[in-house]
């Protein structure tokens, strides 16, 4: 599983010009089961995506397809982790010992 932290490199007005395409990309990957949650940071200096387990090259290819990446507007920090505890509603995501 991955936490993907987006760091914006452009003004919010520039980011907003690409946000509809970014959201369409998010919807595509929610539908494919790749993304579990996402949202902007507060203050709005970037965003966060929780991505399902997959091979890292597959995630990198998905991230390269984001409108923000294509326009060079964001950097993506990827943190791989193995959840071992969760809230009951997320229990299926935790690794079993």
pLDDT of residue 93: 72
pTM for this entry: 0.91
What's the CA gap between 7 and 91, in Å, rounded?
A: 29
- Please report the DSSP string for the chain in residue order: -EEEEEEE-S-HHHHHTTHHHHHHHHHHHHHTT-EEEEEE-SSSSEEEEEE-S--HHHHHHHHHTSHHHHTT-EEEEEEE-------GGGGGGSPP-
Q: Give 50-67 pLDDT, tens digit per residue.
A: 999 999 999 999 999 999
CATH number at residue 47: 3.30.70.1060
Would you say residue 67 lies in a domain? Answer: yes
Q: Which structural domain, as residue segments, surrounds residue 70?
A: 2-77
Would you say residue 38 lies in a domain? Answer: yes
Would you say residue 91 lies in a domain? Answer: no
Would you say residue 45 lies in a domain? Answer: yes
């Amino acid at each position: 599983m991955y936490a993907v932290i987006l760091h914006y490199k452009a003004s919010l007005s520039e980011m907003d010009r690409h946000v509809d395409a970014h959201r369409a990309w998010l919807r595509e990957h929610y539908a494919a089961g790749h993304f579990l949650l996402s949202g902007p940071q507060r203050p709005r200096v970037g965003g966060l995506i929780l991505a399902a387990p997959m091979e890292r090259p597959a995630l990198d290819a998905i991230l390269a397809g984001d409108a923000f990446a294509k326009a060079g507007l964001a950097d993506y920090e990827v943190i791989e982790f193995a959840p071992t505890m969760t809230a009951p509603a997320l229990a299926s995501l935790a690794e079993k010992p």
